[in-house]
C-alpha cells in the first residue's frame, strides 16, 4: 500500500489525518516540522506528502521550493492550510503542488485528493539541475541567490569574478530563466549555429573560464551576445583574469567592454566552508533522486571531514567527489574513512613533506609551518577563525606565525 507523509505542527491534525488514512489501508509517516519532514522524505521516500503551510521552523511553501530546487519533488504533494489565500494556492501549484486543501479538511475531500494524487503518473526524466535555491540554511548562499536575481532583472549578461574553488557553475544554474535550456560555449569547438541558440531558447549560456576560449570560441561568444535578446537567453561567464589581461591576449576590446559591464564576485568554497556539509548532502540527494547513484547518506563525521578539505576545483570538484563516494561506498552510509580516501597522498600523515631524517626541533618547525599555512589558506587569512581553530590566544598566534616566517592575515579583521 502507498506510503503517505503527513507534515503538520498540530498534533491533533496529524493524529486525525493518520487515523483516517490508516483506516483506508495506507502506511503513514508523521512529521511535526520541516526538519523532521526532510529526514523522513530522505529516509522513507513516501509516495505522497500532505504538507501544512504554516509551521514554526520553515513554512510549507519554502519546503516545497526546496524540494523542487534539489530534484526531490518527484512525489505528489497536497498543501494544507487554515489561513490560506488564493495567491498562496496559486503559488503552491506553480511550484509543483498538485492540490490545496483548506482546514478543517472534509473527509471526502481528503480521500479524493489522496486518491487523485496517487493515481497521477510521475513525470519521467532527470530532476532539474541543482541551484542555489536548494540551500535555504546558508546566509551567504541565500544572499548570493538574491544578488544573482537582482542583477538578472536588469541584465542578460553576468560576469563572475572568481579564483580557485569557484561556485561558478552553481551560480550560473541559478540564473532566472524561462526554460531549462543550457549550453556550455566552452564545449563547442565548431562555429556556433543559430539552431543551437534556438534549442536553448529561454535558457542559459555558460562559459566556465573566459581565458580558456580559443579565437574561434571567442567569435562564438560574440555571435551569441548579439542574439541574447532575440532568443531570450542569459549569458553567465567566469574568469580570474582582468579585462586588461584578456585584451593583452588578443581579445576584442568592444566585446570585452560588454562582457565586463556587469560583474559579481561570488564567495569561494573556502569562504563558505561552514556550508560545505549542506552542499555535499544536497548534491548527494540530487544524485540519488536523479538515479545517478544508489541510495546513500553521509555520516555526520564524514560531512565534517568534507568541511575540512580544501576544494581548489570548486563546485565541480565537490560534485565529482560526492558522486565517486556514492558509487564507491559499499555501505548505505558514507563514513569518514571513505572521505579520507579522497585526500591526495601528500596530505596523509607520514607523507606530508616533512623529512623524518632531520632533528626533532626542525621537523616540528617544518610541520608547524605546513599546519599554519594550511589553516591560513583554509580561513582566507582570517585571524579570528584561525585562533579559534588552533586553540591559540591571538598574541601567541601572531608570535608563532612571525617565528615561522608566515604573514598574519589582517585583511578580514574589519568584518568581524
> Which CATH number is 369's domain given?
1.10.10.60
- Among 82-96, 254-268, 341-355, the range scoring the smallest mean pLDDT is 341-355
23-33 pLDDT per residue, tens: 999 999 999 99
Mean pLDDT for the chain? Answer: 86
The pLDDT of residue 122 is 59
Are residues 156 and 227 both part of a single domain?
A: yes
**Residue 355 is assigned to a structural domain of this protein:** no
Are residues 66 and 160 both part of a single domain?
A: no
The pLDDT of residue 378 is 64
235: three-class secondary structure by DSSP: strand
Write out the three cell numbers for 306. 568534507
**Residue 207 is assigned to a structural domain of this protein:** yes
> What does the pLDDT average to over 269-278?
90
Are residues 258 and 280 both part of a single domain?
A: no
**Residue 351 is assigned to a structural domain of this protein:** no
Are residues 234 and 301 both part of a single domain?
A: no
pLDDT band at 349 (very low <50, low <70, confident <90, very high): very low
- 343 pLDDT more than 60: no
Its domain, for residue 94, covers 3-119
Are residues 103 and 193 both part of a single domain?
A: no
The pLDDT of residue 379 is 67
- 355 pLDDT more than 70: no
Number of folded domains in the chain? 4
> What does the pLDDT average to over 312-334?
90
Are residues 104 and 166 both part of a single domain?
A: no
Are residues 95 and 12 both part of a single domain?
A: yes
- 337 pLDDT more than 90: no
**Residue 288 is assigned to a structural domain of this protein:** yes
Let me know: does 266 contact 164? Beta carbons within 8 Å: no
Q: What residues are paired with 52 via a beta bridge?
A: 80
**Residue 126 is assigned to a structural domain of this protein:** no
Kindly provide the b/e burial profile for residues 177-193, where b requires at least 16 CB atoms within 10 angstroms of the residue's own CB. Answer: beeebebebbebeeebe
**Residue 294 is assigned to a structural domain of this protein:** yes
pLDDT band at 96 (very low <50, low <70, confident <90, very high): confident
- Among 190-194, 219-223, 410-414, the range scoring the smallest mean pLDDT is 410-414
364-400 pLDDT per residue, tens: 887 788 778 777 766 667 787 788 778 888 888 888 8
What's the CA angle centered on 158, arms 125 and 192, to 5 degrees?
65
Q: How far is residue 111's CA from residue 109's CA, in Å, rounded to a whole number? A: 6
The pLDDT of residue 347 is 39
Are residues 189 and 278 both part of a single domain?
A: no
- 326 pLDDT more than 80: yes
**Residue 181 is assigned to a structural domain of this protein:** yes
> Which of these three, 119, 145, 167, is where a domain ends?
119
Q: How far is residue 308's CA from residue 317's CA, in Å, rounded to a whole number? A: 15
Are residues 115 and 141 both part of a single domain?
A: no
> Which of these three, 59, 92, 119, is where a domain ends?
119
Are residues 68 and 96 both part of a single domain?
A: yes
pLDDT band at 354 (very low <50, low <70, confident <90, very high): low
Are residues 184 and 234 both part of a single domain?
A: yes
The pLDDT of residue 60 is 92
> Which of these three, 317, 343, 369, is where a domain ends?
343
**Residue 384 is assigned to a structural domain of this protein:** yes
pLDDT band at 289 (very low <50, low <70, confident <90, very high): confident
> Which CATH number is 319's domain given?
1.10.8.60
Helices 34-44, 60-69: axis angle to 10 degrees equals 40
Q: Which residue has the cell 534539489?
A: 70
Are residues 55 and 89 both part of a single domain?
A: yes
The pLDDT of residue 323 is 92
The pLDDT of residue 25 is 94
The pLDDT of residue 351 is 39
pLDDT band at 341 (very low <50, low <70, confident <90, very high): confident
- With a pLDDT cut of 90, the percent of the chain lying above it is 53
pTM exceeds 0.75, yes or no: no
- Among 15-24, 138-147, 157-166, the range scoring the smallest mean pLDDT is 157-166
Amino acid at each position: 500500500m502507498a506510503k503517505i507523509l503527513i507534515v503538520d505542527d498540530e498534533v491533533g491534525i496529524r493524529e486525525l489525518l493518520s487515523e483516517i488514512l490508516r483506516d483506508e489501508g495506507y502506511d503513514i509517516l508523521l512529521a511535526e516540522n520541516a526538519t523532521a519532514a526532510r529526514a523522513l522524505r530522505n529516509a522513507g521516500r513516501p509516495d505522497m506528502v500532505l504538507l501544512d503551510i504554516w509551521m514554526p521552523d520553515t513554512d510549507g511553501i519554502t519546503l516545497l521550493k526546496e524540494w523542487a530546487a534539489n530534484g526531490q519533488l518527484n512525489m505528489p504533494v497536497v498543501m494544507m492550510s487554515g489561513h490560506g489565500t488564493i495567491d498562496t494556492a496559486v503559488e503552491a501549484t506553480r511550484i509543483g503542488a498538485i492540490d490545496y486543501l483548506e482546514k478543517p479538511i472534509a473527509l471526502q475531500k481528503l480521500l479524493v485528493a489522496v486518491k487523485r494524487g496517487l493515481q497521477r503518473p510521475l513525470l519521467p526524466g532527470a530532476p532539474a539541475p541543482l541551484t542555489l535555491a536548494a540551500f535555504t540554511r546558508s546566509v551567504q548562499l541565500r544572499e548570493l541567490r538574491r544578488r544573482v536575481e537582482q542583477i538578472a532583472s536588469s541584465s542578460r549578461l553576468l560576469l563572475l569574478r572568481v579564483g580557485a574553488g569557484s561556485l561558478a557553475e552553481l551560480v550560473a544554474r541559478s540564473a532566472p530563466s524561462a526554460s531549462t535550456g543550457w549550453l556550455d560555449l566552452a564545449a563547442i569547438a565548431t562555429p556556433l549555429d543559430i539552431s543551437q541558440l534556438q534549442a536553448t531558447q529561454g535558457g542559459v549560456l555558460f562559459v566556465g573560464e573566459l581565458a580558456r576560449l580559443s579565437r574561434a570560441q571567442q567569435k562564438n561568444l560574440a555571435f551569441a551576445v548579439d542574439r541574447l535578446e532575440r532568443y531570450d537567453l542569459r549569458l553567465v561567464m567566469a574568469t580570474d583574469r582582468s579585462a586588461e589581461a584578456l585584451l593583452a591576449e588578443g581579445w576584442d576590446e568592444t566585446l570585452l567592454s560588454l562582457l565586463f559591464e556587469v560583474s559579481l564576485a561570488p564567495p569561494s568554497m573556502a569562504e563558505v566552508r561552514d556550508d560545505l556539509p549542506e552542499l555535499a548532502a544536497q548534491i548527494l540527494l540530487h544524485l540519488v533522486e536523479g538515479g545517478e547513484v544508489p541510495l546513500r547518506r553521509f555520516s555526520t563525521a564524514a560531512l565534517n571531514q568534507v568541511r575540512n578539505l580544501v576544494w581548489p576545483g570548486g563546485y565541480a570538484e565537490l560534485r565529482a567527489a560526492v558522486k565517486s563516494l556514492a558509487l564507491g561506498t559499499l555501505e548505505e552510509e558514507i563514513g569518514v574513512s571513505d572521505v579520507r580516501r579522497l585526500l591526495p597522498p601528500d596530505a596523509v600523515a607520514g607523507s606530508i613533506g616533512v623529512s623524518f631524517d632531520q632533528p626533532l626541533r626542525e621537523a616540528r618547525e617544518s610541520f608547524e609551518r605546513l599546519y599554519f599555512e594550511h589553516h591560513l589558506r583554509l580561513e582566507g587569512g582570517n585571524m579570528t577563525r584561525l585562533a579559534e581553530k588552533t586553540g591559540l590566544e591571538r598574541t601567541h598566534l601572531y608570535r608563532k606565525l612571525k617565528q615561522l616566517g608566515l604573514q598574519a592575515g589582517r585583511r578580514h579583521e574589519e568584518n568581524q
